[in-house]
Amino acid sequence: MLRLEKLSCGYGPIRAVEDVSFDVPAGSVLALLGPNGAGKTSTLMAIMGQATIHGGRILLDGSDISANPPAARASLGIALVPEGRRLFPDLTVEENLTVGGYARSAARDPINRKRVYELFPRLAERPKQLAGLLSGGEQQMLAIGRALMADPKLLLIDELSLGLMPKMVDLCFQAIDRLRQSGLTMVLVEQNTRRAIEIAETVCILVSGSVVFLDSAAVARENTALFETFFGQPVLRH
């Protein structure tokens, strides 16, 4: 569904990513990992149309979307759960969801909303609560739900577990796993490498804007030396 071909991107003249290539087949999850400043978020921003592309191509279902503006990419079915959630704190849960579905037909709203509330029962219990008064985990659920209101076929998630309590991390990863099982294609940027590799089919590791590892999650789980080098984590298994 998604293909990056020698993508170089950044912000203005500054290049954050150089010659990055990977494929994300339909219905699969790619974990995009790397240390801070590796270019992970910049890659997501380029896919979403919010970073400057200096070279290479981005293809969605075989069509080059490299020159498409962000709104056009959203209409093609790409949605982003941004780092830090970036909700509208003075709007309620249901109002944030409404904003997420603004580009879709009104007929899809109740269908998508039902899907979100089934995925996150906590949100169904708090439709009138202001987003700014939710816990961090509930806000992350709402950020995912807002993206799902756009009915995406490709979901980009930037730092799912950042700043969350372990119980909320578990709930959010359970939701991502359910979405994976439903056939949703995802690119997941995540600091918790073990959890990311458990849920992904493919792993891509960036260091200083370049790919240093690209293979199946099964191969990544066995490559202990690689993760000791880049993450200081000698054991990935439970």
CATH code, domain carrying 29: 3.40.50.300
- Per-residue pLDDT for 107 more than 80? no
Structural domain includes residue 49 = no
Amino acid 233: pLDDT: 58
How many structural domains comprise the chain? 1
Point out the least confidently predicted range of 45-54, 164-173, 223-232.
223-232
Q: What is the mean pLDDT of the chain?
A: 92
Question: Residue 226: which pLDDT band, with cuts at 50, 70 and 90?
Answer: confident
First to last CA, the chain: 32
- Per-residue pLDDT for 237 more than 60? no
Structural domain includes residue 110 = yes
| Averaged pLDDT for residues 132-149 | 96
**Tokens linked to 46:** 């380029």
Amino acid 84: pLDDT: 86
Structural domain includes residue 1 = no
Question: Residue 232: which pLDDT band, with cuts at 50, 70 and 90?
Answer: low
Which residue, 54, 21, 34, 75, is CA-closest to 158?
Answer: 34
Structural domain includes residue 33 = yes
Parent domain of 184: 24-37+69-231
- Per-residue pLDDT for 181 more than 90? yes
| Averaged pLDDT for residues 164-176 | 94
| Averaged pLDDT for residues 133-147 | 96
Structural domain includes residue 193 = yes
Question: Residue 194: which pLDDT band, with cuts at 50, 70 and 90?
Answer: confident
| Averaged pLDDT for residues 158-163 | 92
Strand order of the β-sheet with 52-60 is: 14-24, 2-11, 52-60, 63-64
Percent of the chain with pLDDT over 90: 82
The 8-class DSSP code of residue 160 comes to T
Structural domain includes residue 209 = yes
Q: Would you call 167 exposed, middle or buried from its count of C-beta atoms within 10 A (0-12, 13-18, 19+)?
A: exposed
CA dihedral over 21, 32, 49, 73, signed as positive or negative: positive
- If one compares 57 and 106, the residue with the highest pLDDT of the two is 57
Length of the chain: 238
Structural domain includes residue 227 = yes
Backbone angles phi, psi at 69, to 5 degrees: -70, 165
Structural domain includes residue 204 = yes
